Structure 1
Amino acid sequence: MTRRHDPHRRQRIIEAAVEVISESGLAALTHRTAAARADVPLGSTTYHFLSLDELLDAAVHTVAERNVARLREWALSLPAQADLSTELAGFIVLLAGEHRQTSVLAYELYGGALRRPALRAASTSWDEMLTEVFESTVDAATARALTAMFNGLLYQALVSPGKPEQADLEQVLRRLLD
């Protein structure tokens, strides 16, 4: 479909890129696959994103923003006297279960930063925001350690063949937080 005036075209291309990566992996994203998914001419993707790294960067930012919004929403919903180990374990189970596809996508993009330096700044924004949220409940050094542990536990939960057990995760988190 040809659209002469399409003020949302750039965002549709980004969303299409996120969908391609989510369904088929990072290697499947090309200007051509994004254009086809967004139903725009190939020239539109190269007009808005001069390189594939620029498109990937936009996709990483989009996914990171969504994940940060989910994280902030979770943090704001915590009761004042919440047991952080219990709540974090439950959040990991939620992210590995109900939000599995989004979590896998985030880690795929995060891992892409290993080989694509242009993605590093956007990828680290998740860690920075996670640490910032944790600093509202623990000191800065513990927040950084908790960020690393949280990421590791979530990654393990995503690659594990079984469903993560909240009690097992809680026990590990409690070791750090007590």
Structure 2
Amino acid sequence: MSHAVRSAPVTRQRIIAAVLHIIGQGGVAAVTNRRIAKEAGVSLGSVTYHFSSQHELLRQSLLHFVREETRRFTELADACQQEGIDIEGAAELAGQVAGGTAFDSEHIAPFELYVEAGRDARLREAAAEAFAAYDRLAAQILGGLGVPDAERLAATTVALVMGLQLRRLATGSPAEDLVDALLLLARGALPTT
């Protein structure tokens, strides 16, 4: 196998990381092939070789971020299920994760991309795929906690988390707000005894 073939995935990852960094710093409008090449430390030709269009760059960057976040949160959800964590413990853990998430350029970029999907119908499919992944994960976590009708509540839970994270980003509000909101939602979904 040639060096070029072996290095292609690494180059793609460097380009995607550069795109997320650029978007997080300056928004989608700041993304240019020259800036990507400079940020990623690759040739200008590598950017156009690996990604046929700006749209494809944005789409793949969004999907990459979501895949990584989903993988990380799935591992966390699996660990919680193995430890038999209850709803209060899960909400507290979500608050710790949210509080520990720095709003660096990589974590700001998806918000920019979701807004861009509102303007660019070509990105909506990727955004829908991203939210579907978050919904599946939320349903898995809620179901594991014994919340009835977890699949129906998944999208609401994701919207709550995303909205509160956006609020934290914009205002600096504390992660404890997320814990309180998740507990309110989960307790409201549990059957009364």
Tell me the TM-score range normalised by the shorter chain.
0.7 to 0.9
Query: What secondary structure sits across from 1:113 in the alignment?
Result: helix
2-side partners of 1:50 and 1:149: how far apart? 35
User: Unaligned 5+ residue runs, structure 1?
Assistant: none
Q: What's the counterpart of residue 65 of structure 1?
A: 67
Superposition TM-score, scaled by structure 1 size: 0.81
1:127 paired residue among 131, 136, 159: 131
Superposition TM-score, scaled by structure 2 size: 0.75
1:112 paired residue among 85, 103, 116: 116
- Alpha carbons of 1:84 and 1:107: their partners in 2 closer, same or farther (altered >3 Å)? farther
**For this pair of structures, how many residues does the alignment match?**
175
Moved more, 28-37 or 141-150: 141-150
User: Unaligned 5+ residue runs, structure 2?
Assistant: none
1:22 Cα deviation from its structure 2 partner: 2.6
1:53 Cα deviation from its structure 2 partner: 0.8
CA contact (8 A) 2:87 2:183 kept: no
Q: What's the counterpart of residue 154 of structure 1?
A: 165
Q: Does 1:177 align with 2:189?
A: yes
Q: Deviations over 1:23-77 (max 9, x none)?
A: 3332211111111112222222122222211111111111111111122122112
Amino-acid identity (%): 29
2-side partners of 1:19 and 1:97: how far apart? 19
1:145 paired residue among 139, 153, 156: 156
Question: What's the Cα RMSD here?
Answer: 2.6
Q: What is the 5 A alignment of 1:1-178?
A: 5=4, 6-7=7-8, 8-79=10-81, 81-84=84-87, 86-88=89-91, 90-101=93-104, 102-136=106-140, 137=143, 138=147, 139=149, 140-166=151-177, 168-174=180-186, 176-178=188-190
